[in-house]
Amino acid sequence: MIHYALPPSLENEIFRFEQEFAEFRAGRLHETAFTAKRVKMGVYLERNRSTYMCRIRCSGNIITPKQLAGIASLAKIYGNGKVHVTTRAEVQLYRIEEQDVISVLRKLKKISLSCKGGGGNTVRNIIANHDSGISTEEVFDVQPCLLALTERLLKESDSWELPRKMKIAFCSLAVEAAFGFIQDVGFIAHLNAEGKQGFRVYIGGGLGAHPKVGVQLHEFVHQEEVYNVVRAVKNMFHLYGNRRNKHRNRIKFLLHDDLGTSAFRTYYRQELNKVLEHRYEKLDIAAIDNSENAERNIVLAPESENLDDFRTWKKRHVVRQRQKGLCQIKLALFSGNLSAEDCSALEKFLRPFGENTLRFGTDQNLYLINIPEKFLANVYKEILGYSTLSDRPMLYGNLVACAGSQGCQVGLTAPQAVSEAVFKYLDTVAAADFCPPNDIMIRISGCPNACTNHWIADLGFYGKVRRVEGHLIPTYNVVGNGGMYRGTLRIAEKAGWVHAYDLPRFITEVMRRYAHFKEHSEGIVNFHDYWRSGARDIITELCTSGYNYIPTFAEDKNYYFDHGADQLFSLKGVGHEECSAGVYDIIDVDNKIVRKNLLRLVAEKDLDDNSLDTLLRSTLFHAAQMLLVTRGEEPKTATEVYSLFTQHFLDTGLVADVHRPLIALAGQSQTQDEAESLCGQKKQIIAFGEELTALYKNMDNTMRFPGEHENMMIKAANQKDESPVPPAVHASIPNRNRPDRFKDLSGVKCPVNFAQIKVQLFAMSSGETLEVILDDGAPIDNVPISVTSEGHSVLCQEKSGEQWTVLIQKA
Closest by alpha carbon to 348, among 86, 72, 91? 72
| 457 within 8 A of 492, measured Cβ to Cβ | yes
Shortest gap between Cβ of 475 and other proteins (angstroms)?
A: 16
- Among residues 485 and 549, whose Cβ is nearest to other proteins? 549
User: 441, 420 in Cβ contact below 8 A?
Assistant: no
**Closest by alpha carbon to 74, among 47, 56, 49?**
56
Name the minimum Å distance from CB 749 to other proteins.
10
Q: Which amino acid is at 518?
A: K
Peptide bond into 302 cis (omega under 30): no
Nearest distance in Å: CB 745, other proteins: 11
Give dist(CA 101, CA 113) in Å, integer: 14
- What is the distance between the alpha carbons of residues 694 and 696, in angstroms, rounded to a whole number? 5
Q: Between 384 and 752, name the residue whose CB sits nearer to other proteins.
A: 752
d(CA 211, CA 256): 11
What is the C-alpha separation between 528 and 766, in angstroms, rounded?
A: 60
Q: What is the 3-state secondary structure (H, E, C) of 187-245?
A: EEEEECCCCCEEEEEEECCECCCCCECCEEEEEEEEHHHHHHHHHHHHHHHHHHCCCCC
| Residue 480 C-beta: closest distance to other proteins, Å | 18
Tell me the closest approach of the beta carbon of residue 747 to other proteins, in angstroms: 12
Alpha-carbon dihedral angle through residues 227, 231, 234, 239, given to the nearest 10 degrees: -160
CB 444 within 8 A of CB 400: yes
Residue placing its CB nearer to other proteins in the complex, 573 or 767: 767
CA angle 574, 579, 581 (to 5 degrees): 100
Show Cβ contacts of residue 51 under 8 Å, excluding neighbours closer than 6 positions.
94, 95, 96, 97, 98
Q: 635 by DSSP, 3-state: which?
A: coil
Closest approach of other proteins to the CB of residue 404, in Å: 25
To other proteins, the closest distance from the beta carbon of 541 in angstroms equals 8
d(CA 360, CA 364): 7
As measured in angstroms, the least distance from the Cβ of 758 to other proteins is: 5
**Which of 519/790 has CB closer to other proteins?**
790
Complex with other proteins: residue 339 or 782, whichever CB lies closer: 782
Minimum Å gap between C-beta 249 and other proteins is 13
- By beta-carbon proximity to other proteins, the closer residue of 142 and 761 is 761
Distances (CA, A) of 520 to 503, 525, 530, 533: 26, 10, 11, 13
Q: Is 661 helix (H, G, I), strand (E, B) or coil?
A: helix
Q: Which residues are near other proteins by CB under 8 A?
A: 751-752, 754-756, 758-760, 762-765, 786, 790
Residue nearer to other proteins on the CB measure, 597 or 760: 760
Nearer Cβ to other proteins (706/751): 751
Angle at CA of residue 370, ends 369 and 373, nearest 5°: 105
Cβ neighbours of residue 779 closer than 8 Å, sequence gap 6 or more: 745, 748, 749, 750, 753, 804
Q: Is 110 or 467 the residue whose CB approaches other proteins more closely?
A: 467
Q: How far is the CB of 804 from other proteins (least distance, A)?
A: 20
Question: What span, in angstroms and rounded, lies between the C-alpha atoms of 389 and 316?
Answer: 11
Least distance to other proteins, CB of residue 498, Å: 17
Nearer to other proteins, 122 or 753 (CB): 753
Q: Which is nearer to other proteins, 339 or 756 (CB)?
A: 756
Measured CA to CA, the distance from residue 253 to residue 243 in angstroms comes to 12
> 755 vs 796, which CB is nearer to other proteins?
755
Nearer to other proteins, 242 or 356 (CB): 242
Whole-number minimum distance, CB 53 to other proteins, in Å?
A: 33
Q: Are 275 and 261 in contact (CB under 8 A)?
A: no
DSSP E strand boundaries for 573-642 = none
| 380 Cβ contact partners less than 8 Å away, ≥ 6 residues apart | 305, 310, 313, 314
Least distance (Å) between residue 648 CB and other proteins:
30
- Nearer to other proteins among residue 319 and residue 538 (C-beta): 538
Nearest CA to 158 out of 63, 239, 256 is that of 239
Pick 684 or 786: Cβ nearer other proteins: 786
CA distance 178 to 272: 26
Query: Residue 414 Cβ, how far from other proteins at the closest point, in Å?
Result: 27
Closest of 500, 505, 502, 416 to residue 464, by C-alpha: 500
Q: From the CB of 764, what's the least distance to other proteins, in Å?
A: 7
Distance separating alpha carbons of residues 89 and 57, to the nearest angstrom: 8
